[in-house]
A and B are shown apart, each in its own frame.
Chain A
Amino acid sequence: MHTFSGAVEHALAHIEEAAVHDMPQEQQRWYAIKIFERDEKILNQLKLDKSVLDHIEDDIKAAENELDDDAESIITNERYVYIASIIKSCYRKKNVVKLSASDKIDRVITNRWLALPIFAIVMFIVYYVSVTTLGTIVTDWANDTLFGAWIQPGVQSLLENIGAAGWVVSLVVDGIIGGLAAPIGFALQMAVVFILLAFLEDCGYMARVAFIMDRIFRRFGVSGKSFIPFLISSGCGVPGIMASRTIENEKDRRMTMMTTTFIPCGAKLPVIALISGFLMGGAWWMAPLMYFSGIAIVIISCIIMKKMRIFAGEAAPFVMELPQYHLPALRGVFLSTWERVCAFLKKAGTILFLCCAVMWFLGSFGIQDGFFGLVDTEYCLLATIGGAISWIFKPLGFGTWQAVASSLSGFVAKEGIVSTMGVLSGLGSVKEYGASMHAQFAAFFPTGIAAVSFLFFNLFDSPCLAAISTLSRELGSRKFFWFALLFQNVLAYCIALMVYQIGGLIVGEVAFSIATVVAFAVLALILYLLFRRDPNKQSLRLVEHSENRMAA
Chain B
Amino acid sequence: MLIWITENLASIAVCAVLLVIVVLIIVHMVKDKKKGKTSCGCNCAGCPMSGDCRQHEK
State in angstroms the CA–CA spacing of A364 and B22 once bound together: 19
Known A242-B44, A347-B39; judge A159-B14 contact (CB<8 A): yes
- Interface check B5, CB cutoff 8 A: no
Instruction: Name A residues whose Cβ lies closer than 8 Å to a Cβ of B.
Output: 159, 162-165, 168, 171-172, 176, 235-239, 242, 267, 339-340, 342-343, 346-347, 349-351, 353-354, 357, 413, 466, 470
Q: A165-B11, A237-B40, A343-B39 are in contact. List 14 more A-B contacts (CB 8 A).
A: A163-B11, A164-B11, A164-B14, A168-B15, A238-B42, A239-B43, A340-B41, A346-B39, A347-B40, A351-B29, A351-B39, A353-B22, A354-B25, A466-B40
State in angstroms the CA–CA spacing of A163 and B9 once bound together: 8
Q: How far is the CB of B14 from chain A (nearest CB, A)?
A: 5
- Interface check B10, CB cutoff 8 A: yes
- Interface check B20, CB cutoff 8 A: no
A-B contact count (CB 8 A): 65
Contact B10–A350 (Cβ < 8 Å): no
Closest 7 CB pairs of A and B: A343-B41, A236-B40, A165-B11, A239-B42, A162-B10, A163-B10, A164-B10
Q: How far is the CB of A469 from chain B (nearest CB, A)?
A: 8
Q: How far is the CB of A335 from chain B (nearest CB, A)?
A: 12
Residues of B contacting A339 in the complex (Cβ-Cβ under 8 angstroms) = 41
Contact A354–B11 (Cβ < 8 Å): no
State in angstroms the CA–CA spacing of A491 and B41 once bound together: 29
State in angstroms the CA–CA spacing of A242 and B21 once bound together: 31
Residues of B contacting A164 in the complex (Cβ-Cβ under 8 angstroms) = 10-11, 14
Q: Which residue of the partner chain B has the closest CB to A266?
A: B40
**Residue contacts A-B, CB under 8 angstroms, 28 given:** A159-B10, A159-B14, A164-B10, A165-B8, A168-B14, A176-B18, A235-B42, A237-B40, A238-B38, A238-B42, A238-B43, A239-B43, A339-B41, A340-B41, A343-B39, A343-B41, A343-B42, A346-B39, A346-B41, A350-B25, A350-B29, A351-B29, A353-B22, A354-B22, A354-B25, A357-B22, A413-B39, A466-B39
Known A164-B11, A172-B14; judge A470-B21 contact (CB<8 A): no
State in angstroms the CA–CA spacing of A342 and B46 once bound together: 15
- Interface check B28, CB cutoff 8 A: yes
Among B11, B28, B29, the residue within 8 A (CB) of A168 is B11
State in angstroms the CA–CA spacing of A470 and B40 once bound together: 12
Residues of B contacting A413 in the complex (Cβ-Cβ under 8 angstroms) = 39
Q: How far is the CB of B25 from chain A (nearest CB, A)?
A: 5
Residues of B contacting A350 in the complex (Cβ-Cβ under 8 angstroms) = 25, 28-29, 39
Residues of B contacting A171 in the complex (Cβ-Cβ under 8 angstroms) = 18
Among A162, A168, A172, A238, the residue within 8 A (CB) of B40 is A238
State in angstroms the CA–CA spacing of A163 and B14 once bound together: 11
Between B10, B22, B28, B44, the greatest number of chain A beta carbons within 10 A of the residue's beta carbon is seen for B10
State in angstroms the CA–CA spacing of A350 and B30 once bound together: 12
Contact B42–A353 (Cβ < 8 Å): no
Q: How far is the CB of A337 from chain B (nearest CB, A)?
A: 12
Q: Which residue of the partner chain A has the closest CB to B43?
A: A238
Residues of B contacting A162 in the complex (Cβ-Cβ under 8 angstroms) = 10
Q: How far is the CB of B11 from chain A (nearest CB, A)?
A: 4
